[in-house]
Amino acid sequence: MDFTLSEEHNMLQRMVRDFSQKEIAPVIKEYDRKQEPIPFALPRMGELGILGLCFPVRYGGQGMDYISLGLACEELEALDTSLRVAMSVHVGLCATTIFQWGTEEQKQKFLIPLAKGEKLGCGAFTEPGCGSDVSAIRASAKRAGDAYILNGEKMWISLASKADYALLTMRTNKDAAKPSQGLSTFIVDLHSPGVTSGDIHGKLGVRAGSTGWINFQDVRVPLENRIGEEGEGFKITMSAFDHGRYTVGSGATGLLRAALEASVKYSQQRTTFGRAISEYQLIQEKIARISQDYEIARLLHLKAGWLQNQGERCTREISFCKKFATEASFKAADDAIQIHGAYGFSDEYDVERYLRNARGAIIYEGSSEIQTLIQAGYALGQREDKPLRCELPAYDVEEWQK
């Protein structure tokens, strides 16, 4: 096994880290306090090619692999979770799902502007009374000739008020034998008549990120905007969740690293009783655990990225990564606050923001409880990955440059 990253991977990491440190770090506290997104962040990420890393050049991407997506998410969340959340919904939920399931015409129309950062996308699946139970979706899409008429509301949607397109799943058959068989997925222009959206304020964390709701009132969506076949929405949504969870897990790895670096730096500078606190074994124990968890999380997300490169389904491995990394990052941020003492309780230092940001990832994109059930299902032989009509394409370096 070769665990060496390519020079291209290393260059990508340096580029994303430079962007984060030089352009985002100086203003992140201000926007976190104001609870507003940084206005230039996403346009700049588009200019740098970050929003289209893992797509072929012919679709507006950078021709890089899926590992690159994970590495970019790690670097972005090492600065602030709001940057990675944008990657999760724009690249993971929306663009990658179109890349996997969309027709050539849909890729030309939607994927290219998304990959270039000319348009912003989001994934809209959660509803006011429906989160992890996708089969309980109630928002409807009724066929009307060569179009569908959409009605309903989606809630807790990142970039809801900022995105141009939303990939969303609606109920097209209320009489299906199984609720999950009555769903279909669409790509919707959020500037269409009948679409309204707004932001949710007062969040515990990810305050520099946009989270909101989208309402659909008799929204007419052309037939050619349906992704996949009618009744295939549940499978498409589960694929989207895999893509999103991969970015969440790799991003949480970056938060782990940030907590580790902050803890090491502070512990070596802070003295008590004439000694740096890094010399005390109880402090060392916390730092050792964070360091260990970072290495485990990093290996998990690199493995998941490698499996995707091979064209292998890796729902189980992505679940391992998402659950472990998010829970470990929350614990790491908590330990980092303890190491910082009273200063950790203040936003003078970044660690309190790490804790607030880390908490949400244990819930969204499939809670830890859902990940536990997924993992148990595989271990008990009750769950298996059946072939999909459209699998995520394996990475091909030559094909990706076309």
Strand partners, 143: 148
Q: To 5 degrees, how large is the angle CA 168–CA 200–CA 330?
A: 90
- Classify residue 365 as left (phi > 0), alpha (psi -120 to 50) or beta: left
Is there a contact between 216 and 150 (Cβ–Cβ < 8 Å)? yes
The CA distance from 388 to 138, in Å, is 24
Alpha-carbon distances, residue 306 vs 3, 49, 69 (angstroms): 10, 21, 11
- For residue 316, give both structure tokens: 């189980």
Please count the CA atoms within 13 angstroms of the CA of 218 that sit on its side-chain side. Answer: 0
The CA distance from 13 to 379, in Å, is 35
Q: What residue type is 302 in one-letter code? A: L
Q: Which of 77, 105, 365, 391 is catalytic?
A: 365
What is the per-residue DSSP string for 114-181? HHHTSS-EEEE--BTTBSS-GGG---EEEEETTEEEEEEEEEEEETTTT-SEEEEEEES-TT-SSGGG
Strand partners, 154: 214
Rounded to a whole number of angstroms, the CA Rg of the chain reads 21
- Residue whose entry in the numeric block shows the structure tokens 């990940």: 371
Scored b (16 or more CB within 10 A) or e, 345-354 reads: eeeebbbbbb
Q: What residue type is 275 in one-letter code? A: R
Going by DSSP bridges, is the β-strand pair 183-189/165-171 parallel, antiparallel, or unpaired?
antiparallel
What is the per-residue DSSP string for 333-398? HHHHHHHHGGGGGSTTSTHHHHHHHHHHHTTTTS-HHHHHHHHHHHHTT----PPPSSPPPPP-HH
SS3 of 332-344: HHHHHHHHHHHHH
365 is catalytic: yes
The CA distance from 293 to 328, in Å, is 6
What residues are annotated to the active site? Answer: 365
